[in-house]
């Protein structure tokens, strides 16, 4: 891959992704797949003004080994230094950059009961720290290819060729394949903001979804909520892009107001395994039934993680005729596949989609209707013939999507 283009991508993540502040501490989380690119990113972060950059390396096969041999209680325990680190993060508010490259099948065969129990126990400790940090720091999730991931996407290619091909697709999907990715993202954010402005002027109270695959669904919206997309701001006013790529405009619906059934249109990569060809049925705002041709048990465990796991935290709107969907591949990675077409998310909602959230307590935010959970799992429902109708407080029915694409 052309090193100049990779440096441009690294610059995009540093300047438009997390938009590092002068003197700020930055934590980069990455697997061992692309150390040279991680080095480029660290250098660009320093050039952008970072005061200190640390890299936290991980290795998916070691995770699998730990879950095979380590005691469940030991895995679930957070040691003193771990909670001290969380306290430091909640106080210092370092920027966070996650470089995703995991193998979609990397945890296949793992003891899912053990994995879920450990995750639940650890999240019960870490969540209060994360809640303190929410909307107060910049973060960005982006991607680099690994050999295993590339072979999953391009199984007929030799490994090195597959990695190069996946690099090509990642950069194009991330609008980072041209001479000035930072400028391209500024233009992209302007376009997303214009759509958000239109939707927010409508004053919608609910959305209806219909598709020939069986999707027939209605979800309620919070009166004081807003549609968002692309870049966003911390409560201190620092602009950043949390996802690169991103094609979505999203809102957190009102927890407890969802009726009907939705059908997935792409596989879901969850806990290192793929859930395929599934449906989710809602009654009274909660999931009451899930069906899947593959790994249905993972869906069942997901919605049982806590009280909010069976409720919706996000409705995201993406044209079926999107740049990522038009690439014609399945990434087997939610960061990309969720931006190929419309999706929903089970679990935690976004506080900052609620007007005035900055002056509210967590309890007040949840009373307004923002869902709370230890999970936030996106799954894709966008189809070529998907229609979405927005209902205003006066009962007017406004076309939002027609034939899978924007109706305005």
Report the alpha-carbon distance of residue 395 to residue 313 in Å, rounded.
Answer: 24
CB 38 within 8 A of CB 30: yes
CB 341 within 8 A of CB 382: yes
Positive or negative CA dihedral for 326, 403, 209, 289? negative
pLDDT at 141: 98
Between helix 112-133 and helix 80-92 the angle, nearest 10°, is 40
Both structure tokens of 373 = 């959970």
pLDDT tens string 119-170: 999 999 999 999 999 999 999 999 999 999 999 999 999 999 999 999 999 9
CB 283 within 8 A of CB 257: no
Q: Is the pLDDT of residue 1 over 90?
A: no
Q: Is the pLDDT of residue 206 over 80?
A: yes
Report the alpha-carbon distance of residue 299 to residue 49 in Å, rounded.
Answer: 43
Question: What string of DSSP letters covers 264-296?
Answer: -SS-EEETTEEEEEEEEEEETTEEEEEEEEE-H
pLDDT at 404: 97
Report the alpha-carbon distance of residue 337 to residue 228 in Å, rounded.
Answer: 19
Fold of 3-173: Thermophilic metalloprotease-like (3.40.1830)
Q: Is the pLDDT of residue 85 over 90?
A: yes
Lowest model confidence (mean pLDDT) among 24-28, 115-119, 313-317: 115-119
Strands, E assignment, 235-394: 239-240, 249-251, 253-263, 268-270, 273-283, 286-294, 312-317, 343-347, 376-380, 387-392
Count of other CB atoms within 10 angstroms of residue 237 = 6
Q: Where are the domains of the chain?
A: 3-173, 194-406
CB 379 within 8 A of CB 268: yes
What mean pLDDT comes out for the span 53-82?
A: 96
Supply the mean pLDDT for the chain: 96
What mean pLDDT comes out for the span 42-65?
A: 97
Report the alpha-carbon distance of residue 382 to residue 249 in Å, rounded.
Answer: 13
Confidence of residue 393 (pLDDT cuts 50, 70, 90): very high
| Close Cβ partners of 117 (under 8 Å, ≥ 6 residues apart) | 72, 76
pLDDT at 387: 98
CB 112 within 8 A of CB 64: no
Both structure tokens of 210 = 């219909």
pLDDT tens string 237-279: 999 999 999 999 999 999 999 999 999 999 998 887 889 999 9
């Amino acid at each position: 891959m052309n090193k100049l283009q990779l440096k441009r991508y690294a610059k995009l993540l540093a300047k438009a992704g997390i938009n590092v502040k002068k003197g700020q501490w930055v934590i980069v989380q990455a697997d061992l797949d692309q150390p040279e690119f991680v080095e480029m990113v660290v250098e660009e972060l320093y050039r952008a003004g970072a005061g200190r950059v640390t890299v936290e390396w991980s290795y998916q096969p070691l995770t699998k080994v730990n879950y095979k041999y380590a005691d469940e209680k030991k895995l679930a325990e957070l040691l003193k230094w771990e909670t001290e680190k969380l306290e430091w993060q909640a106080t210092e508010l370092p920027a966070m950059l996650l470089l995703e490259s995991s193998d979609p099948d990397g945890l296949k065969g793992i003891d899912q009961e053990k994995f879920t129990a450990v995750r639940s126990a650890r999240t019960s400790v870490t969540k209060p720290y994360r809640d303190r940090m929410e909307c107060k720091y910049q973060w960005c999730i982006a991607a680099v290819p690994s050999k295993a991931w590339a072979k999953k996407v391009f199984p007929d290619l030799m490994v090195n060729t597959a990695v190069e091909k996946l690099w090509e697709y990642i950069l194009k999907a991330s609008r980072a394949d041209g001479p000035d990715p930072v400028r391209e993202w500024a233009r992209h954010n302007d376009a997303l903001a214009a759509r958000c402005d239109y939707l927010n002027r409508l004053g919608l109270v609910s959305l209806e979804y219909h598709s020939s695959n069986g999707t027939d669904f209605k979800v309620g919206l919070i009166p004081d909520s807003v549609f968002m997309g692309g870049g966003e701001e911390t409560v201190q006013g620092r602009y950043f892009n949390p996802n690169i790529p991103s094609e979505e405009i999203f809102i957190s619906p009102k927890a407890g107001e969802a009726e009907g059934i939705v059908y997935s249109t792409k596989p879901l990569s969850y806990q290192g395994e793929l859930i395929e060809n599934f449906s989710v049925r809602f009654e009274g705002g909660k999931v009451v039934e899930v069906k899947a041709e593959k790994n249905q048990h993972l869906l069942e465990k997901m919605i049982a993680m806590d009280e909010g796991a069976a409720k919706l935290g996000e409705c995201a709107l993406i044209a079926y005729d999107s740049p990522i969907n038009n690439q014609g591949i399945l990434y087997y990675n939610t960061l990309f596949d969720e931006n190929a077409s419309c999706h929903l998310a089970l679990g935690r909602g976004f506080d900052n989609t609620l007007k005035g959230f900055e002056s509210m307590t967590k309890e007040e935010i949840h009373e307004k209707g923002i869902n709370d959970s230890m999970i936030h799992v996106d799954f894709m429902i966008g189809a070529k013939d998907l229609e979405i109708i927005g209902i205003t407080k006066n009962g007017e029915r406004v076309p939002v999507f027609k034939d899978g694409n924007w109706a305005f």
